Amino acid sequence: MRRCAGVPITTTITTITTTTTILQLPPPPLHPLLPSQQQHQYNSNTHLHQHLPGTYYGGEEDGMGTVPEAIMKRLEEGYRELQATPSKSLLKKYLTPMVFNQLKRRVTAAGATLLDVIQSGLANPDSGVGVYAPDAESYIMFRDLFDPVIDDYHGGFGSRDLHPGIT
Is residue 141 pLDDT above 80, yes or no? yes
pLDDT at 41: 42
Lowest mean pLDDT among 56-60, 102-106, 149-153: 56-60
Q: Can you tell me the mean pLDDT for 105-133?
A: 94
pLDDT at 26: 56
Is residue 164 pLDDT above 90, yes or no? no
pLDDT at 102: 94
Question: pLDDT-derived band of residue 140, with 50, 70 and 90 as boundaries?
Answer: very high
Whole-number percent of the chain with pLDDT over 90: 50
pLDDT at 80: 97
* β strands within 46-156, DSSP E: 48-51
Contact 155/120 with Cβ under 8 angstroms?
Answer: no
Is residue 31 pLDDT above 60, yes or no? no
Contacts 24+ apart (CB under 8 A), 123-127: 125/82, 125/85, 125/87, 125/89, 125/92, 126/87, 126/89, 127/87, 127/89, 127/91
pLDDT, tens only, 48-88: 444 333 333 344 455 566 889 999 999 999 999 999 999 99
Is residue 2 pLDDT above 70, yes or no? no
Residue 157 CA to residue 134 CA, distance in Å, equals: 22
What domains, with CATH codes, occur in the chain? 66-153 (1.10.135.10)
